[in-house]
Amino acid sequence: MMRVLLLATGLTALAASMAAPVLASDDWEIEGLAFGWSLYEKGDPSTPAEYSVKGVYEGYGPEFSFGCTRGYAFDVVWKPDVPVTGGAFVPVTITIDDVTVLDGNLVPNDRNEYAWTGRDGEAYDIVAAIWEAWEGDLTVSAGGATDTIYFDEDMLGGISELVLEACGKF
């Protein structure tokens, strides 16, 4: 499968970055990758019910992450650079290279942080779309806030594939 070959290439890039410092925070092992992204891991991958993994973008401006918690639930979190405005229900759109991944609504909150969580549904759709695209510009737009985040899974060690595998989707 082509993804396996690309994953091998990505793992080579990941191995090359192993010289980068690995930090620990709240039991998370954190490894800095490329383009403002980091790989967060907690627990043992051989015990899915105790393993969590996520890719976290903390680059320039917004924060964005996607992961798998304890081998079961997908989690996608967006904290835009500017507050979301527009009333009780604000349209939100997520695209990758101008292809719509999610078109829905969100409720603005005081934390200015928005999440999609679940075994399937929108959270899974977002992670699967990142894996399918493998490289591109992910754009999240809602209520006056628009953030675009670049990802290249070859340079990020195939985080989306690790997340999908951790949640049993491979």
Tens of pLDDT, residue by residue over 10-49, are 433 433 333 344 455 678 999 999 999 999 999 998 888 8
Candidate from 2-6, 73-77, 93-97, 133-137 with smallest mean pLDDT: 2-6
The pLDDT tens digits for 59-110 are: 888 999 999 999 989 999 999 999 999 888 899 999 999 999 999 999 888 8
Please name the amino acid found at residue 93: T
Banded model confidence at residue 111, pLDDT cuts 50, 70, 90: confident
Determine the topology of domain 2-166 in CATH.
Answer: Immunoglobulin-like (2.60.40)
Is residue 47 packed enough to be buried (19+ CB in 10 Å), middle (13-18) or exposed (0-12)?
Answer: exposed
Banded model confidence at residue 114, pLDDT cuts 50, 70, 90: very high
DSSP 50: G
Indicate the pTM of the whole model. Answer: 0.83
Rounded to 5 degrees, what angle do the CA atoms 151, 152, 153 make?
110
Residue 23: predicted pLDDT: 52
Residue 130: predicted pLDDT: 98
- Is 80:147 a contact under the CB 8 Å cutoff? yes
Q: What are the distances in angstroms from CA 97 to CA 74, 106, 115, 126? A: 22, 22, 21, 13
Cα–Cα distance, 144 to 15 (Å, whole number): 39
Residue 170: predicted pLDDT: 80
Residue 24: predicted pLDDT: 53
Q: How far apart are the first and last CA of the chain?
A: 12
- Is the model's pLDDT at 138 over the cut of 90? yes
